[in-house]
Structure 1
Amino acid sequence: MNEELKTFTISVYTENNIGLLNRISAIFQRRHINIESLTTSQSEIENVNRFVIVVNISETQAKKIVGQIEKQVEVIKAYYHTDNETIFTESCMFKIKSELLFEEPQIQNIIKESNTRIVTVNKAFFVLEKTGRRHEIEALRRDLNAFGIMQFVRSGRIAVTKDEMRITELLKAEKNKQ
């Protein structure tokens, strides 16, 4: 029986070492699993980084991948969660010709209706910033595409769990074991 594919957010808490990203991405590559988004940052614990990796896989695959990731020496702990178990968002920026801001009233309506923020305006261009779910960002991109987008960039997902994970205590306990 084939398991249902779902979107999983995999959180990996690690020491900050060179080459770890390559080894983690190789785990996905060997299994022919595409990474939908990847974000790394400092975590809530000093000197511990967090990878947030989004993939569409089965739960069995998610368990195996987390197990493989945890075998990496620098990895302190890894978890996987469904979309229903997390609160998540993405950010994006659009660069658009400035003349459109003043000559196209519909652009101002789009900005207001989408809760988009103007970051900067100069003679040549203006930059918009939007934070939200992927489908909201894609809808905004479609709306703005009609007017011409000079540049577009979207971040990977950032996420926290809905459950209180007491992650700080868990990670400190794990780190002390090492």
Structure 2
Amino acid sequence: MENKTFTISVYSENNVGLLNRISGIFLKRHINILSLNVSESEIETVSRFIIVVDTTEKWVQNIVGQLEKQIDVIKAFYHVDEETIFLENALFKIESSLLFDERKIQNIIKESNSEIVTVSRNFFVISKSGKRSDIEDLYNKLKPFGIMQFVRSGRISISKDKMEISALLEELKHK
């Protein structure tokens, strides 16, 4: 079996220590987490972990099974990229004088569909949402001008198909 990029969605109660237990599952199997995002989900009081890994389908099935054995985990799913809609966000902090003195920076911002979110006397901040490759491309174009700070979020993702998590939670409520 060949390695692929998988996005794992874990719905859980929001309890202390779960992130540590989840990362331990990957650590034991020597599988690197490429991206991790934790946020509220569409269901009140339920958190959603989005974990991106590069592994085989056999390993991701095993991991999802292990994740679901965790006491706080309600349900876990996995998807390949073609089954999801996903993106990342990034912020770039650049020296302000370049915005006014270097026309090429303005063209890069416009061509990359980025936006300037703040401008101060000393710096300005560019925001970019998109696929990782789009963000890396913008990074490479801005790098020669000097990037003061850079940060990229983990992947956020929703599945193209309906996920039955709401129905599952409603069912569990009535048991």
- TM-score interval, normalised by the smaller of the two chains: over 0.9
Structure 2: how far apart are the matches of 1:65 and 1:6?
14
Aligned length: 175
Q: Give yes or no for the alignment of 1:58 onto 2:56.
A: yes
What's the secondary structure of 1:101's corresponding residue? Answer: helix
How far residue 173 of structure 1 moved from its aligned partner, in angstroms, is 2.4
Q: Which runs of 5+ in 2 are unaligned?
A: none
Residue 83 of structure 1 corresponds to 81
Structure 2: how far apart are the matches of 1:118 and 1:130?
9
Q: Which runs of 5+ in 1 are unaligned?
A: none
CA 1:6/1:176 → structure 2, altered by over 3 Å: closer, same or farther? Answer: farther
Structure 2: how far apart are the matches of 1:10 and 1:159?
9
Contact (CA 8 Å) 1:76, 1:174: kept in 2 or not? no
Q: Structure 1: which 4+ aligned runs deviate by more than 2 Å?
A: 170-177
Residue 12 of structure 1 corresponds to 10
How far residue 174 of structure 1 moved from its aligned partner, in angstroms, is 4.1
Residue 106 of structure 1 corresponds to 104
Residue 91 of structure 2 corresponds to 93
What's the secondary structure of 2:147's corresponding residue? Answer: coil
TM-score (norm: length of structure 1): 0.96
Task: Report the residue type matching 1:108 in the other structure.
Answer: Q
CA 1:162/1:144 → structure 2, altered by over 3 Å: closer, same or farther? Answer: same
Among residues 156, 159, 172, which one is paired with 2:157 in the alignment?
159
- Percent identity of equivalent pairs: 63
Residue 73 of structure 1 corresponds to 71
Report 1:127-146 matches (<5 A): 127-146=125-144
Contact (CA 8 Å) 2:2, 2:56: kept in 1 or not? yes
The one-character-per-residue Cα deviations of 1:42-70 (angstroms, maximum 9, x if unpaired) are 00000000000000010000100000000
